[in-house]
Structure 1
Amino acid sequence: MSRPTDMLFGRRTWNDFITAWSTRTDGNPFTAHMNAATKYVASRTLENADAWQNSILLSGEATKTVADLKTEDGNDLTVIGSVSLVRDLHAAGLVDAYQLLIHPLTLGTGARLFEGPAPLTEFELTSSVTTTTGVIITDYTRK
């Protein structure tokens, strides 16, 4: 959140985030960041992205539209959630870095980031920090 980024969502996560963030007016800096950021939503089914300010619809195949978007000048793209989208982007070689947050809890269920085959891709740990609540924030960059 300390540097300007644009957000990239799959349709389902974008819809979930609208409910959680679009109408909040609290003093949370994450709320201000989420609402001010340009939000790209990759979807083959949405007709428009008017439901949340600063949202732009990327219709068609996500790997093609995101590859095209990455060739343009602008902010880095950040994806939160959107596991299916991340899997597709990773398989297409479009992920340059991962920031993984490791929380000190177990859920017992949930979607794995990589299920099934994924291309071998090497990443280098470029930073890590442990928060006061025990969350480990790691940054990995493609080698």
Structure 2
Amino acid sequence: MRKIIICTFLTLDGVMQAPGGPDEDTQSGFEHGGWQKPSSDDEVGAAVTGWYESCDAMLLGRKTYEIFASYWPTADPDNPFTGRMNRMHKYVASRTLTAVEWQNSTLLKGDVVDAVRELKVSDGRDINVVGSGDLAQSLMRHGLVDEYRLTVHPVIIGTGKRLFADGAIPTALEPVSVSTTKGGTVVGVYRPNGEPRHGSY
């Protein structure tokens, strides 16, 4: 069975909105776009590259799809990620799009939860959910996430969209690998491991 893997950049206070640039996502008046760049380094880049070794597809919400589709088709061909992103299959979850034109893209039909359940049992390798906060939260609520691959950067934003927003399902996580870069970014891979346990001192 294919794994659904959430791959996300986060601030220390859990914000995932607009890591890549000031104009990436200004929804709700967000003014901190591009927060990831100052703390990114070769170690972060190597970790993110490794995230894609086991997958052959991405699952994207509308907004992230539109951001990617406006950039990668004309991105620097010498960037090793350019060819990978363009060749990889993209499954797009959207209630408003009627067509997707970026090469190797498929617009999911019907209920997204049912469509993702079908993807999980289809032929292929793992599927990365990149960005796409609303979609990620829907998948988490329905128990469809098999793994989290997160970079947590040493910056506090205070506002913005969070991956683990209010209403997230309480979940224990099993750490698969956790490391810290020289720049202070925590790179972690975690798998859901049932409900949280409780205790007291």
- After TM superposition, is the score higher than 0.5? yes
Hey, what does 1:53 align to over in structure 2? Answer: 103
Shift of 1:133: 3.2
Report whether the alignment pairs 1:123 with 2:173.
yes
Q: Is the 8 A contact 1:44 1:61 kept in 2?
A: no
- Runs of 4+ residues over 6 Å off in structure 1: none
What secondary structure is seen at the aligned counterpart in 2 of 1:22? helix
> In structure 2, how many angstroms separate the alpha carbons of the residues matched to 1:106 and 1:123?
23
Shift of 1:104: 1.7
> In structure 1, how many angstroms separate the alpha carbons of the residues matched to 2:69 and 2:183?
27
> In structure 1, how many angstroms separate the alpha carbons of the residues matched to 2:160 and 2:122?
34
Q: 1:91 aligns with which of 121, 141, 150?
A: 141
The one-letter amino acid of 1:118's match is: A
Shift of 1:30: 2.2
The one-letter amino acid of 1:136's match is: V
The one-letter amino acid of 1:120's match is: P
Bigger radius of gyration: 2
Report whether the alignment pairs 1:39 with 2:120.
no
Deviation readout 1:81-100 (Å, 9 max, x if unpaired): 10000000000000001011
Gaps of 5+ in 1: none
> In structure 2, how many angstroms separate the alpha carbons of the residues matched to 1:108 and 1:11?
25
Map 1:64-83 → 2, pairs under 5 A: 64-83=114-133
> In structure 2, how many angstroms separate the alpha carbons of the residues matched to 1:30 and 1:4?
15
Report whether the alignment pairs 1:27 with 2:63.
no
Q: Is the 8 A contact 1:44 1:59 kept in 2?
A: no
Task: Give the 3 Å change call, closer, same or farther, for CA 118–107 of structure 1 in structure 2.
Answer: closer
Task: Give the 3 Å change call, closer, same or farther, for CA 30–132 of structure 1 in structure 2.
Answer: farther
What secondary structure is seen at the aligned counterpart in 1 of 2:189? strand
Hey, what does 1:101 align to over in structure 2? Answer: 151
Greater RCO (Cα-Cα under 8 Å, separation 6 or more):
2
Deviation readout 1:27-83 (Å, 9 max, x if unpaired): 222222211211110112211212x11111112221111111111121111011100
Q: Is the 8 A contact 1:87 1:113 kept in 2?
A: yes
Task: Give the 3 Å change call, closer, same or farther, for CA 113–104 of structure 1 in structure 2.
Answer: same
Normalized against structure 1, the TM-score is what? 0.90
Task: Point out the more displaced range, 12-21 or 131-140.
Answer: 131-140
